[in-house]
Chain A
Amino acid sequence: MTRAGASVAALLALAVLSGCNSNDEPTTPTPTTGSSANVIVFSGTVAPAGSQIFSFTIAGGVPLRVSLGSLTDANSQPLPQSLRLTFGIPQGTGCSGLQTVITPATLATQLSAMLSPGTYCVSVTDIGQLGTPATFGVRLVFGDPRSDDGGGTITYTSTVLQGGFTSRTFDATQAGTAVVLFDTIEPGSVSSLSLGIGFPRTDGGGCQITQLHTATRGSQFAVNVEAGTYCVRVADVGTVTGSATFTLRIQHP
């Protein structure tokens, strides 16, 4: 085929295929109101120089908040390293970024968007800081979890068996600072317990840890949170023989 002939063929294809549809106008998302929110926790293992992707489909307009909430090693110890967190649209074997941030794990929102109906993805990628595979947890909050219930204080008393742990959740009705006050540990021979603060996994996998502290009697820990559900996890750090009973208070916004 001559070049001119090819031009004709190409234009014919254009004439046939371009059509007159104009049904690809962007749709205006309808924000949700009230305190309803759905949470998905995307968790897994990211290898050094590796990446993981998670895709999801939204039927209606909804606000989305994304946070890399947890990054831990094989022993569930929080890691300080940062990952590249991307929100975008699935493309090829990756996630084509609409928004990207490099961040360590925190309970704060790192990416947010008002979504139109469609299929989207988030991905986490090591930027060369990991030396060994790490376990991550990315929290996706769809909707607005704020409520007018107000903050309060929860008293949590429980028993930790030797080598064991226990956990419970608490809600923050708005953004603010949550404070955990470790009041008592019995018997007196147990000097400390491990206190993890994080968010509940949505697959029944327990409390995904963001921060880990050594809690002694009278110690307190503050963490900035946004509206949503969080958790504390109290564990033996090798100091418990038999069992230990503790009491802590959670002051939440």
Chain B
Amino acid sequence: MRKVFRIHAIAGLLGLVAVAGCGDEPTTPSPQPGIPVTETFTGTLQPSGVASYAFSMSRAGNVALTLLSVTGPSVPDDALFPVGIATPAGSGCPALTDAAIRPGASPQHTVAKQAGVYCVQISDSARLGAPATFVLNITHPK
């Protein structure tokens, strides 16, 4: 019980530090600008197709992409999927390939970005034999 009380006290002090150190106290408890959020982009990738997803950052920070899975009837085990980050323009996401990644549990691509609106594009480089469902986590400052 004493240990729990001590942890709560530390937590309270840290909370005070976190708030008192800034001149612009938040008026609402959440959401906090700058706190990383994760948006999950789920979609279907056609053979040689592309898919994109837009998100906003009110603060500069790192954007981390985690391609959790690509599943379908014809997904080669060694397939790499090009991903890129750009600013939305026109009817799509004009991203170049920043990395070619393989599904996994940890972020496969991380890049620093200024505050703004961005889009992530994922594509198939002619490895899929049939449409596949993907799950891509995008973690970025709120």
Contact = CB atoms under 8 A, between A and B. Distances in A.
A14 B7 contact: no
A2 B1 CA distance: 13
B24 A22 contact: yes
A1 to B, nearest CB: 11
Interface in B43-79: 43, 51-56, 58-59
B17 A91 contact: no
Contact of B90 (A23, A24, A54): A54
B10 interface: yes
Interface in A67-120: 89-93, 118-119
A24 B115 contact: yes
A211 B43 CA distance: 39
A7 B7 contact: yes
A68 to B, nearest CB: 16
Contact of B119 (A20, A21, A90): A90
B14 A21 contact: no
B117 A52 contact: no
A91 B117 CA distance: 8
Interface string B89-112: 111000000000000000000000
Which among B18, B52, B58, B119 has the greatest number of chain A C-beta atoms within 10 A? B18
A23 B57 CA distance: 12
Which among A24, A53, A90, A118 has the greatest number of chain B C-beta atoms within 10 A? A90
9 contacts: A14-B32, A15-B17, A15-B18, A18-B34, A18-B35, A22-B22, A24-B33, A24-B115, A92-B54
Given A13-B35, A21-B59, 6 more contacts: A14-B35, A17-B32, A22-B24, A54-B91, A55-B88, A119-B88
